[in-house]
Amino acid sequence: MADDNKALSVGVDLGTSRSAISASSGARELVLSYVGWPLDMVARRVVKKDCLVGEEALENRVMLDLHRPLERGMIKEGAERDSKAVRELLSHLLTQAGVDEAREAGTPVRAVVGVPAEAMRVNKQQLRSAMEGLVDSLMIVSEPFAVAYGLDALLHALIIDIGAGTTDLCVMNGRYPRDEDQKTLTVAGDSIDDQLEQLIGDRYPEALVSRHMVTSWKESGSFVGQLSGKIIVQAPVEGKPTKFDITEEMRTACTSLVPPVVEAMNDLISRVEPEYQPKVRNNVILTGGSSLIGGLGAAIQEALQDVGGGKVRVVKDPAFVGSDGGLAIATDAPDSDWETLSG
């Protein structure tokens, strides 16, 4: 355990859609992973800031060069702006958690940042560069590992982290996850939005529907399996607000997530030593923003029946489970480790 009480430890979950921070001071913040810069001088005068982050960026998006830096779980290929956006997003989160004040007071800040497994795999160096100078010591870990650590699910567990850009699956075998222990799918919240938008457009071509409307409908009404009521939404048709039933479209779009996730899950389980497979099957943990899709956990658990049965647990507070896990890592890592990673 770190015994340096003067250090401020923070855990950050850098997500495609939302990012969260948990600090040892007790601070917890959640922001939308949007970063935007004013498009021109006029926009700059209106928004009165050089850079906007989170909800504020989304609200002012028409005046901004808006970025979601971890699109599909990775920093966009060759886009320097997205690296800058990562830095702005991190800086904003750290400020929200009181890191600036702590550093001004001379308190060292130790951060563990959890990123989608795919970003961890391909953008590790860019991420580290993007965060240079923001904290005193930095450790970057894959998000499923941070989740597993926070939940103490380090042995014989399968983490399924369904975010916006990617779905990360990771088997915890009591060792730091290696490439063969993990899988990343690009089927996730965003792909559900894609499909839902397409299906609604096909059925109601007259409705004027924006991407943000589709996302908000999904966030409030997503489900797989059976639904007792109907999902009725409102969208303008030639300027007139009109109601539409999108129950079937929602079911179809959300259900599209199940087969690839189940296939990847079964593949990872099949790689586990045979005697431990039942333990892993009975310790499947579903997390990430899209784990909140109604009935998803049950659908995955039902699919496990085909391979001998198992249990799926849906994390109650997916928004902070990754950042809390990062905080646990930051707090547990000994001072000597932090010294190794400083500078």
- Tell me the closest approach of the beta carbon of residue 343 to other proteins, in angstroms: 8
Tokens found for residue 199:
């299906």
Dist. CA 35–CA 32, nearest whole Å = 9
Taking the C-alpha atoms of residue 144 and residue 95, their distance in angstroms, rounded to an integer, is 25
The DSSP output letter for 2 is -
Alpha carbon distance, N-terminus to C-terminus of the chain: 21
Q: Least CB distance from residue 67 to other proteins, whole Å? A: 11
DSSP code at position 273: -
Measured from the Cβ of residue 216, the count of other Cβ atoms closer than 10 Å reads 12
Q: Cβ closer to other proteins: 63 or 314?
A: 63
* Amino acid (one-letter) located at 233: V
Residues of this chain that interact with other proteins (CB under 8 A) are 39, 72, 74, 77-81, 84, 118, 121-125, 128, 138-141, 145, 149, 152, 154-155, 174-176, 178, 185-187, 191, 194, 197, 211, 329, 332-334, 337, 340-341
In angstroms, what is the minimal distance from the CB of 108 to other proteins?
A: 16
Contact 297, 286 (CB under 8 A): yes
| Shortest reach from residue 111's CB to other proteins, in Å | 11
Q: How far apart are CA 103 and CA 78, in angstroms?
A: 32
Question: Residues with Cβ < 8 Å from 248, sequence gap 6 or more?
Answer: none
Nearer CB in complex with other proteins: 124/230: 124
Q: 225-242 b/e with 16+ CB inside 10 Å = b? A: eeeeeebebebeeeeeee
Q: How far is the CB of 129 from other proteins (least distance, A)?
A: 10
Give the nearest distance from C-beta 18 to other proteins in angstroms.
19
Rounded least distance, CB 145 to other proteins, Å: 7
CB 122, min distance to other proteins, A:
4
The total number of residues shown for the chain amounts to: 343
2 touches 112 (CB < 8 A): no
CB contact burial 20-35 (16+ within 10 A = b; e otherwise): bbbbbeeebbbbbbbb
Cα–Cα–Cα angle for 15, 18, 20, rounded to 5 degrees: 85
